[in-house]
Every structure is written in C-alpha cells, then in structure tokens.
Structure 1
C-alpha cells in the first residue's frame, strides 16, 4: 500500500474480511490489483456491523462485505465516499436512498458470484435429494443398518422450480441441462423471450410451488419478496417435493417451513440462509434429518473470492478513473450533480472521458 497524499484515490476495505490474526479469511480477493494501479488502500480500523461517518470520512471508495450502509454512514462525513462496492450480490442492508441523496454509487458483483452460487445451489439440491445429512449421521452414529430408510430421489427428469430467474438462476439452468430437468420459474421481471431462450417456462409463484419436485429460492430480498414462500404456498407443494433457499432467509417463512417439515408435508429442505443468522441453537431445523444446512457459506470457495473481489476492485478502478462502473444498483444517482462533479475531478486528473463505462 502506497503512502497517502491529498491527490490520491483512497479506498477503505471493511475489517470483517480479517480474522483475529489479521489474515483475510477470504484469501485472494484481488486487492493486489489496487496496488498495481497505484491505489492507496487500507483496512478500516473498526470491525463494525454498521459503517458510520467517522469510518468512511475522507475515503473515495469503500469495498465492503458485511457492514450495513445507512443514513448514519453519511452523518459527520464531510467528504463521503463516491462508491460503496459490495463484495456480493445482496444489498438489503444498504440504504440506497441515503446513498443516492449523498451522491454515492452502490455496486454489487453478479459477475463474480454467478457461477459459485449456481454451483452451490446444485450441490445443495443433490445433497437434499440424496439425503446426505441423514446418511452422514448413520455412519458417524453406528446406525449403518438403517440406510434402507433413506432412499434418495434422482434428479434426472425431475421438474425444478426457480423463484427468481436472474443471472445466477440462469447459470443454474445451464448446469441442470445434463439432468434433463424440466424447469419452471417465477420472475415477474424476466423478459419472456429470455426465459424461452433458456428453455424455461414462466409461471406464477403458486404454479411453481405446486408443480415442482424441487423449489429453489434465488431471488433478491425486497419488501415484495419477504415471506413470499409462506405457509399457504408451502401447502401447495407435493409431499415428495423439497424446498431450497440460497438467496436470503426472510424470503421463506421459517416457522412455516419448520412445521411443514415436522408433519412431513414436504420431503425435505436445504438452507444456506436463515431468517436470523446464525440460527439459535434450539432452532428445530438443527435437529432434523431431512434438512441440509450451511452457514451462509456454501458458495464460499476460492472461485467466489476471486470473482467477487475482482468485480468489486474493477468497480473501484473505474470510479478512480472518473467512470461509472457496471452493476450500479442505485441508477438514479448517475445523474446526480454531486456525483458528476466529483467524477469530473477524477477525469481531469486521469484524462479519461467523464462517465465513460456507464
């Protein structure tokens, strides 16, 4: 990391990337590309669940994973960052309105997360269908003879229902092709021609829930999708069907899911996310054999680290050159005079066309 000067572009990296010994738990997230570009960067001094004005004041950009970005992030920050580059695709803890009002771009990393999350979804699907958790326990607990009780389901020719048909789900569609799965999806924002080109049939959410042998939640968490998968919709599922969530916990009504699993209304579930993370130790899900669980880390691989990190770093480098990066989620800010003025300053410094790359 270079020495700081008044003319340098300065980046803060959230401290939740580090373990107690100061090592980046994600491994190589491509921060070396900032060094190679002569960008001054440092880890933020505080490990915090919410970025405050004192944490970000004077920074040009923040590359972050876990901390929330709220209205308080801008309070007391005389010179708030131009960019909040999220390491990941979720932004439910980011106050987009506050960022837009303060002329700050928010980016995510769909290009980096797409394949790792799609692969994780396929992994979880196969684990649930093959009763991996239950069979693992049989061996560990000396219950080998009970294996006949845990015959799995093959994926080939099954109907897979997707709640959300964004980039990651579309990647999963490709991974499912060798299994000759029939795919039906709910996504009111997906153009019909895109779904048709993928060989996916679009339907309303109730139809997806009722027809699928496996329902996989892959949509973003919004007020529209909170508890989208509730008790009524779970009651529509086949008793042989399974439910997976690799998106955000609150999209599924967890209490309703626990009840559906308890009375065997559905066959099983696979969860990489929970309504409350981490789940309480007395959460009934933790004791169920027909559930495969992961601590919101199933896609946590070196591929994910490099992909998310590289995408976030590229967003930083674009802004440092005075350009609007790809994958901005608060697009309204692009026309903000405050943002345009600060980008123009960077453009003058680097001699690049203002707004190029938008």
Structure 2
C-alpha cells in the first residue's frame, strides 16, 4: 500500500496519465476528484498528503481540515485559488509552475494586440455578414513608432517585450518591484502607472492577482488612457475593474480591448462586453499549447513528489513556510 495519497481537486484534462506516471514512479497513489465546494474538498482531501489544484478554491476552512497535507501544487503560475497565509500557518508547502507557457501567453498577448490594432475580428465578421468594405475599420494606425505599455514585468512580459520590439514599439514598463536597470536590457523605460497609461497606445496587463493588484486598473486609471488606446489582459480578470472598463468602452474613452480573462468566467450571457465590436474575448486560453499543457502537468506533479520525498521544492511559493518544515535541499 502506498505511503502517500495525492488528490487532484479538479481538472479539465481528458486523463491524468502524466501525473499518474510521475507519482507512480515515486510510489504515490493518485486519487482524481472534481470538487466545486468546500464540503466536497474537505470530504475528498481530508486525509490527503498532497493536492494538485486547478480551479477549486482551497480556502482557510479547507486547509484547516487537512490533517496530513504537506504540499499543494497549483496547475499554473498564479496561486490565487489557495489561501497562502493559511497554508503557511499549517506548514503546507505551496508549489506553482512559474516557467511554463511563457511563449504561449506572450504570443497570445501579441496576437490580441495585433487583432485589435488591425481590426481583424471586426473585418472578418463584416465580410462573413456580406459586407466587403475596408472603411469600417477606420482608423488604423501604423504600429511602428507607437508605444506599448507593459504592466508587470515577470517572465512572460519580458518574453513579450522581446517579441514586440521588432515591430518598432517604444516600450514602457510599470513594475513597483523593479529598477530601470532591470528593464534596460529589454529596451524599455520604467515609469509610474499613471505615466504608462497616459502615454501608451496599447497597454498589456501581466500583473499577478494579489490583494495589492485587485482592480489595479479602475475608473481612475482608465481615465488616464488615450481615447485611441487599447488594453490587453492575459493575466487575471480582477486586475482590471470590469465595470469601469465597460463604462470606459461604452463612453468611448478608450478604443477597445483584447481580453483572455474576465472577472467572472465563463462570461455571463448578459455581460455587455460580449456585444461590443471593439472587444475581443477569448476563454482563458492564452496559456494553452499541447506542449505547455504537458509541461504544466508534469512539473506540478514533480513539485508534489519533491516535498513528499522530503525536499524543498524547486518552485516553492510560500517561502515563509521554511520556518515550520524541515526538508532537505534538492541534490
């Protein structure tokens, strides 16, 4: 009988073959679940030694009910589904996968930007509806010489900066944790958020969702933007105040938006964004490629194995937990 039990709290994948393979090699039993509520999570995970988590909310109440848990791994970069403070207090390591989908998300952000700039979706829909007239796309401006503002400057936006530079963009960056020396290698200038919003023709949002970044871009911030500017979001929906965004779009105070994420997902059918021709909405897909999915699943599972085998994991999120656990360094 396996010494350890790991529960997958919820998942959208067709199978769990990658996770099963990695955990089986370590002699760990994998138990799939599809939990949606706190009660379901507590029932499925109470005696688990580790969790693999996609979207289910691992709240303080759930964490306090975990009798044996040593590690929670998130399928993704962000860990906003997990109460980090509660996990740390309980001595549970939280693991993410910070280095996957860098190409995918940066590609997708650039694709949304280009689609907004060149009115690709608007023109496609118009032609398919029977109208052959380029003039409905006016105005379109040349990209070279325009300004791209990047909010947050971790791995993905740095990759985006490298891809955007050959298009001839001037690059501005807002990230309160960096200095000008950090962004200079990317040909960018570090500025405050207000200046970035006021000067940018395109704003690409890449901030993680934390209490500090919730509604980071609200009515006041959107008010700084040019009426000709577009905003792109491939990070997390609540980083932008959606009601404020809808109002700004309805009043013509910004030109449009390319959104891979929303505050509520899936989008309710009465969401006004769904009716706007100047808004492109995708179903939180920027992370996805076949290769990225495999990398995500294998690295998340490996993070669980590392902790259960007695090692500090490569991708430990809540480093404060080191005061509560006694693990070895990975060889």
Q: TM-score, normalized by length of structure 1?
A: 0.85
Aligned 8 A contact 2:10 2:56 in 1: no
- Please give the secondary structure, in 2, of the residue aligned with 1:77: coil
Task: Say yes or no: does 1:138 pair with 2:126.
Answer: yes
Aligned residue for 2:135? 148
Aligned residue for 1:351? none
Measure, in 1, the Cα distance between the counterparts of 2:35 and 2:42.
Answer: 14
Aligned residue for 1:349? none
Aligned counterparts, 1:25-36, within 5 A: 31-36=20-25
- Please give the secondary structure, in 2, of the residue aligned with 1:156: coil
Measure, in 2, the Cα distance between the counterparts of 1:254 and 1:240.
Answer: 19
Task: Say yes or no: does 1:71 pair with 2:60.
Answer: yes
Task: Say yes or no: does 1:15 pair with 2:10.
Answer: yes
Aligned residue for 2:277? 289
Task: Say yes or no: does 1:323 pair with 2:311.
Answer: yes
Q: Structure 2 residue aligned with 1:128, among 112, 116, 122?
A: 116
Measure, in 2, the Cα distance between the counterparts of 1:131 and 1:176.
Answer: 18
Alpha-carbon RMSD: 2.0
Task: Say yes or no: does 1:103 pair with 2:91.
Answer: yes
Task: Say yes or no: does 1:355 pair with 2:319.
Answer: no
Q: Structure 2 residue aligned with 1:90, among 75, 78, 85?
A: 78
1:132–1:28 distance in 2 versus 1, CA, 3 Å: farther
Aligned 8 A contact 2:60 2:86 in 1: yes
Aligned 8 A contact 1:106 1:330 in 2: yes
Unaligned residue ranges in structure 1 (runs of 5+): 344-353
Task: Tell me how far 1:59 sits from its aligned partner.
Answer: 2.0
Unaligned residue ranges in structure 2 (runs of 5+): none
1:191–1:334 distance in 2 versus 1, CA, 3 Å: farther
Task: Say yes or no: does 1:302 pair with 2:300.
Answer: no
Aligned residue for 2:222? 234
- Please give the secondary structure, in 2, of the residue aligned with 1:227: coil
Q: Which deviations, in whole Å up to 9, do the C-alpha atoms of 1:259-307 show, x marking residues without a partner?
A: 2212222111111111222222121111111111011123322132122
- Please give the secondary structure, in 2, of the residue aligned with 1:41: strand
1:28–1:266 distance in 2 versus 1, CA, 3 Å: farther
- Please give the secondary structure, in 2, of the residue aligned with 1:69: coil
Q: TM-score, normalized by length of structure 2?
A: 0.92
Measure, in 2, the Cα distance between the counterparts of 1:323 and 1:302.
Answer: 29
Task: Tell me how far 1:313 sits from its aligned partner.
Answer: 2.1
Measure, in 1, the Cα distance between the counterparts of 2:217 and 2:158.
Answer: 20
Task: Tell me how far 1:226 sits from its aligned partner.
Answer: 1.7
Aligned counterparts, 1:37-76, within 5 A: 37-44=26-33, 46-50=34-38, 52-76=41-65
Count how many residue pairs are aligned between Structure 1 and Structure 2.
Answer: 329
Measure, in 1, the Cα distance between the counterparts of 2:162 and 2:18.
Answer: 26
Measure, in 2, the Cα distance between the counterparts of 1:30 and 1:200.
Answer: 40
1:279–1:231 distance in 2 versus 1, CA, 3 Å: same
Measure, in 1, the Cα distance between the counterparts of 2:288 and 2:152.
Answer: 21
Measure, in 2, the Cα distance between the counterparts of 1:76 and 1:203.
Answer: 45
Measure, in 2, the Cα distance between the counterparts of 1:213 and 1:29.
Answer: 42
1:10–1:220 distance in 2 versus 1, CA, 3 Å: same
Aligned 8 A contact 2:54 2:75 in 1: yes
Measure, in 2, the Cα distance between the counterparts of 1:203 and 1:183.
Answer: 10
1:112–1:28 distance in 2 versus 1, CA, 3 Å: farther
Measure, in 1, the Cα distance between the counterparts of 2:137 and 2:312.
Answer: 53
